[in-house]
Amino acid sequence: MNTTIASTPLSRLHTTRQRARTAPGARWRVADVEALYTVPFMDLLFRAQRVHREHFDANEVQLSTLLSIKTGGCSEDCGYCPQSAHFDTAVEASKLMPLAEVVQAAQAAKAQGATRFCMGAAWRSPKDRDMKLVSAMVREVKAIGLETCMTLGMLDADQARELKDAGLDYYNHNLDSAADFYGTIISTRTYQDRLDTLGHVRSAGINVCCGGIVGMGETRAQRAGLIAQLANLDPYPESVPVNNLVPVAGTPLANAEPLDPFEFVRTVAVARITMPKAVVRLSAGREQMDDALQALCLAAGANSIFYGDKLLTTSNPQAEHDRALFERLGLKAQRDE
């Protein structure tokens, strides 16, 4: 199958994929996604760019800002995460931020040009006493004219409905990896736990923000498995963050071998092709990318970035540098409609 798609003219790739579909709930087979990775690099970027232009302004990028509203001390053992209580890292645990400070940060993000404000808390799942506070954050941030997104760990159906009632626009809950690699990096939360949370979020009527992390030692087939899992969600996520592992001292993945940059670009392109209407976001790892690599990712179909000084506990390119890069590339920030 890989050879067939790799050697098929671009004009026939869509037809080939249609024939390869299985059941309605599995629009993309893992083998078909893996075959996309084998397409010559320039052809793959061309295909992704064509798909991108069918659904988006090719020169417009959505800007999101992410704030850690509760840092560290998480009971999960995600092998990449410096916020886990299982690992000895430089991250100190903190309590939930006061509402006024969150609103102030949101106002600053809007002034810098962000249109979506994402709030993350290092929890396995929020407790009942937390829900009132985070719901208030959603209402206050929406009141200043920003889209809202939260990532709080696992949710049950009642918690998802409570966030919907508060006006939450997006909930982020990443799958992180393919199911057959997941157990090597996390033992305290199952893959099904993650899928269940996504189901509660979708049932509540909240947009889904869901992606994964590459560069954790997974194979290309497992990267394809992650993309296939995301693309086969019904519907696939409205927002898909693509994270490149940032190794942190003290975590089990501190010495992970860096992923080939072109493989990362391929992952962005494959995400764009398999989820054509999703907003594909460059997320963690952007600080480690030079301008040329970021430009390649944008050419491959990424059309959103996290914008600001910090991404949870890791550094992020400065807003001023991002604006300069946009100017050099002739890009514009997405504005509120």
- Options 74, 116, 210, 266, the catalytic residue: 74
Cβ–Cβ < 8 Å for 333, 60: yes
Cis before residue 40, ω within 30 degrees of 0?
A: no
Which of 209, 210, 266, 272 is the catalytic position?
A: 209
From the candidates 27, 47, 118, 286, which is the catalytic residue? 118
Q: Is 209 a catalytic residue?
A: yes
295 φ, ψ to 5°? -65, -40
The active-site residue out of 17, 149, 194, 286 is 149
Q: Which of 17, 27, 194, 281 is catalytic?
A: 281
Residue of 17, 47, 81, 297 marked catalytic:
81
Torsion, Cα of 250, 253, 256, 259 (10° steps) = -130
User: What residues have CB less than 8 Å from 264, skipping those under 6 apart?
Assistant: 214, 215, 242, 244, 285, 293, 297
Q: Where are the alpha helices (DSSP H) in the chain?
A: 2-6, 10-20, 30-37, 41-55, 99-111, 128-143, 157-166, 179-182, 191-204, 220-231, 261-274, 291-299, 319-329
Residue 210 annotated to the active site: no
Q: How far apart are CA 258 and CA 270, in angstroms?
A: 20
Catalytic residue among 78, 189, 266, 286: 78
- Cα–Cα distance measured from residue 272 to residue 137, given in angstroms and rounded to the nearest whole number: 32
Taking the C-alpha atoms of residue 280 and residue 272, their distance in angstroms, rounded to an integer, is: 7
Catalytic, 118? Answer: yes
Find tokens 């969150």 and name the residue.
Answer: 102
Catalytic residues: 74, 78, 81, 118, 149, 209, 281
